[in-house]
Structure formats: C-alpha cells, structure tokens
Structure 1
C-alpha cells in the first residue's frame, strides 16, 4: 500500500489586519502614526491660537496663528508738509532797491522835463532836455516804479516769538523765524503765527471717576506751535483742536476728587495722550493738568451726602479707637500698681464707666 505525500504548505502567519481609523467620511489615518515611539521634536512656543473644527467631517483641529496686532495710527497731515526755512534777504537789499527805483523815477521825470523849472537847480542838476513823455520815458517810469514797489513792498519786520508762513498760489514756500528788518518777496502770501509758550484753560468738561460717577473737570493746557507749516496749514483752530483732544482723553482717563486719589498721575496720563494726538499737526503739549474737579450737578447732592457720611463714620471710628486705648491704659495702670483689686465683674463695670466718661468728655470738647 503506497501512500502519496503531498507537500505540506508552509504555515502562513495570520494576516496582518489593516489598522485603520475611519471617520464619517472617507479619510483614513494609519494607527501606527498615532503611536510612534520616536521622540517628539522640541516644542515650538506658539502664541495664543484659535482652534476651529468643522463638525461631522473628522477633520483635525486647525490652529490659526493670530496676525500681528495693528497699531493705532494717528491722523497724519501731508508728509511733505514739514517746516523749512524760507529764503529772505537782509532789509538793506530792499531799501537799496526801493531807493534805486525812486531815483530812476526822478531821473526819468528830469529827462522828460516833467519837473518844475526850479527843481533841477535846487537838486544840482543841469537843465532838463525836455524831450517830453514818449514810449521810452513811460517804459522807464514803469521799470523804476516796479523796482521801487518791489523793494519797499517786500520790507518786513520779524519779531521775537513770531513767525511768518509763506505761500505762493496755495503752495507752501517756507517759514521765516528771523528777527529784525528783512526783505521778503512781496508776491508771497504771509501768515503770522505765534510760536511763544501759551496757556489755555478749558471750560468745565464731562469726565468720570473710576466708579463711573459723573464729574465736571476744567484743565489747564500748556502748549506752543512747534511746526508752523503743519500747525497753520493743517489745523484751522488750534484751541478748538486741543479742546477736542482733551475731551477724548478725559473719556479714557478716570479722575478722582481732590483728596480721594492721585490727581498728579491722571495729569501725566492726560499729558501723554493729548501730546500724542497734537504732535501730527505741529503742536507741542507740555502739560495737561486738572485745575478744578467737581461732581456733575445731577449727582452733586447725593455725593456730598455720601462724603459727609464717610467722614462722620471715619471720625467715629477714630474716636472709638482713642477711647478704647485710654480705657485699656487706665485699667492696666490701676491693676499693675495695685491700687485696686478687681474681679471680672468689677473690671467690666469699671471699663463700662470709664468708656462712658471718656466718650462724654470727648463729646463736650468736640474732638
């Protein structure tokens, strides 16, 4: 009997299951990626992020990096509008040009014979040629007159603490800060501006304290014009602009009544805010200080009663503390010196009598 042996197939291992996690859609994530033994990379510090995930899609949370915060930009005037020095000449040049024009007009009149008969002799001039007023003489008159007007018309006097902003056909041509006699092109439009240190006291403005109680505040602003080009051509009313800046700053800075909080700190914050708002228009603010702080009329009576009650409670607490200290000191001295022997009942009675006596004495003296 023969047996036929067939090759036995080598045993194969159990089929490796495909370890997949399937979400509600068709996205598949291999499990071995979730349980890796590799060391994690060094953590990267991230800014606070916003995590968003769409529901029902199996989508992994996405991290959004917040963009850089946008800085608050202040209003800017034309960047090319910056104060620069204007070109002027010494006043002697204008006087000389005007004198030359007057001399030219006189010479033309002598040439044309328009002067009185005795005038040439009085001026030491020879007799006039008396050629009459022709086109040449009229042209000489026009040239001499234009030179005289141009010379004398451009004379200006600069004073300390004042400046002149020059413009031609609406275009800025420069600023003159010189003092003394000088010559400026008479075709230029001149705008005077005061560059000295100035004080402006506001009327009562609405404000609030840290608790939101309505206040009325008057502030004193110390300021000056620093950039004349921006101050004159960028703002029409300087004090009106400062008033609006101060009102906007009072909304952001809580104030306190005198004696209840640091008024100086509020003044420093107001100065910084108003100075930052006024700098783009050429104004320099040195100080913004509250000079009068009071409650608004609608809450003045209630807050007055509240302050009186608080002061009265504080006074009563001070008086009570003083009386208790005095009673304690008296009882302690009597006991330690052996003047009296007191049990608990007698000690309580003595403390009571001394407290009533001290309180009555302080009430009579009004302290």
Structure 2
C-alpha cells in the first residue's frame, strides 16, 4: 500500500462559511419562534445538528507532519498541507511525524568476523517518507526502526574484523566510511518496507569486550613494537650501507671484509639500541 493524497479543503474559508450558516440558522430559529412556525423551528434544529456534525471535519496539520485518513477502516489518503483544513467528518485521523529523527542503539555485544567479542553502538538518522506504509505495513514503525536497526548493526559487525592489523582489508576500526555505508545500506534494506528512509548511519561506540580488552591491548602494543623495530632496522641498514659507501668513495679508510663486518655490527648496535651508547676509545691500533 502506497501513500496517496486525501481530499481536503482550506479550513479558513470553510470556517467562515460555517459561521455564516450558524448565523442564518439562529436567525431562522428566531423567526420561526416569533411566527410560531414549526417548519422553521424544526428546520433550524436539523440544520444545527448537521452543522455540528460537519464541524468534526476540521483539523490542523503542523509543519513536517502528515494526517493519515481512514474511512470505516479503509485507507483514504494522507494530508500534508499545513494549516487549518476541512475534510469528510467521518474520516478518522492519525498523526504521523515527517521530521528527521535520531535513534541511538544500545551498546551491543557481538563477535566480529574473527570471532573476537566486541562492543558496538551506532546512531541512525531516519525519516518517514511514506505514511501509508509506516502506519499499515507494520504494527509500530518506531519500534520497528529500533529493532531492525540493532539487528542490522549485529549483522554488519560480523562481516568485518575489529582491526585490519596492517593487512589493508576493511575493518571496523580502520575503515569507518566503508563500514558506515554498509550499515546504512543494511538498515535501509530492512526499513524500506516500512516507508522509512535512512539518511545516515554511523558507528558511535567501538571497543573490545572487557574479558579480552587487556589481551588485545597487549597484542596491539606488540604489533606496534614490531612495526617500530622493523622501521628502525630498515633505517639502520640504509645508514650503515651509506656510511660504508662514503668511506670507500672518499678513500678515508680501506676495510677488509672482517673489519667491515665488525663496523656493521657496531653501527647496528649504536643505531638500534634502546639505551645510550657508552663510547670506548681505542688508544692502540685497529687490531688492539
């Protein structure tokens, strides 16, 4: 069932017409009472009852709000025109907000694609775009948004690892744009049937579960140390190679393979060591 426009007219001109009709009815009633004319009196009373019944057709529509109309249980359409309106007095009316709204999920505990327990939360920005589907396709569209958003968040979280560990693959921690787009598409697929458009969805909370947080922290620290050591060694080797080339090119000293090995060893110790190096002054020859 898709949304359609319900019949209604502007309320202010109709209100003035009703006021004029009431004035005419009062005048007719007074005239009938003064002339003792039962037809005038009965007609005035009947017209008053009808006008009172017809006044039930007045209603107001707030900005960014829709009125869903039903006639004896059948969907008659939706009115989105702002202001005072008048329609069939037998229509039942239900307000549906068309404003942009936020939903923030609770912190869910799920497993990522590698089986690690994590905590994840998200915020979803959504808006009703089809009032008929929102009202008649599901029992409670607001509750539907909440449940389906959290279900989509769980499903999305199981598709990625928490961290890529420098592999370049998409991960929850390192690829927020990819993850947020996937989450939005996942939620939109579920909420589209309820006439809801998902404007934005993004992760607001992401952390390892408490029972493995310490172990994962140590793993991250170890990975950082390994990466730093690798960078240091690569730089040290380049510096040693450059030093040997410049010493040989400038003719400063001629070193055999054994002395080159000793020099390389000393330079690597100096460049890669964590502590400050204590220099030793050799007062003898190169061999002593």
State TM-score, norm by structure 2: 0.81
Note if contact 1:108-1:141 (Cα within 8 Å) is conserved in structure 2: no
Note if contact 1:164-1:192 (Cα within 8 Å) is conserved in structure 2: yes
The residue aligned with 2:149 is 246
Using the alignment, how far apart are the partners of 2:75 and 2:49 within structure 1? 29
The residue aligned with 1:273 is 186
Aligned: 1:231 with 2:134: yes
Using the alignment, how far apart are the partners of 1:167 and 1:329 within structure 2? 85
Using the alignment, how far apart are the partners of 2:245 and 2:142 within structure 1? 68
Aligned: 1:99 with 2:19: yes
Say which is worse superposed, 155-164 or 238-247, in terms of deviation. 238-247
Where does structure 2 lack aligned partners over 5 or more consecutive residues?
A: 166-170, 277-288
The residue aligned with 1:349 is 262
Q: How does 1:175-194 map to 2 (within 5 A)?
A: 175-194=78-97
List per-residue Cα deviations over 1:171-192 (Å, max 9, x = no partner): 2111111123321223211111
Using the alignment, how far apart are the partners of 2:161 and 2:143 within structure 1? 26
Q: Name the Cα RMSD after superposition.
A: 2.6
1:222 to 125, 133, 136: 125
The residue aligned with 1:116 is none
The residue aligned with 2:215 is 302
Q: In the comparison of the two structures, how many residue pairs are matched?
A: 267
The residue aligned with 1:160 is 63
How far residue 231 of structure 1 moved from its aligned partner, in angstroms, is 0.1
How far residue 155 of structure 1 moved from its aligned partner, in angstroms, is 2.2
Aligned: 1:172 with 2:85: no
Structure of larger gyration radius: 1
Note if contact 1:249-1:273 (Cα within 8 Å) is conserved in structure 2: yes
2:44 to 132, 140, 157: 140
Bigger relative contact order, structure 1 or 2, given CA contacts below 8 A and separation 6+? Answer: 2
1:282 to 170, 195, 214: 195
The residue aligned with 1:18 is none
Q: Which has the higher helix share?
A: 2
Using the alignment, how far apart are the partners of 1:239 and 1:318 within structure 2? 53
Query: Residues 269, 334 of structure 1: CA spacing in aligned structure 2 closer, same or farther, 3 A cutoff?
Result: same
Using the alignment, how far apart are the partners of 1:347 and 1:93 within structure 2? 102
Aligned: 1:255 with 2:255: no
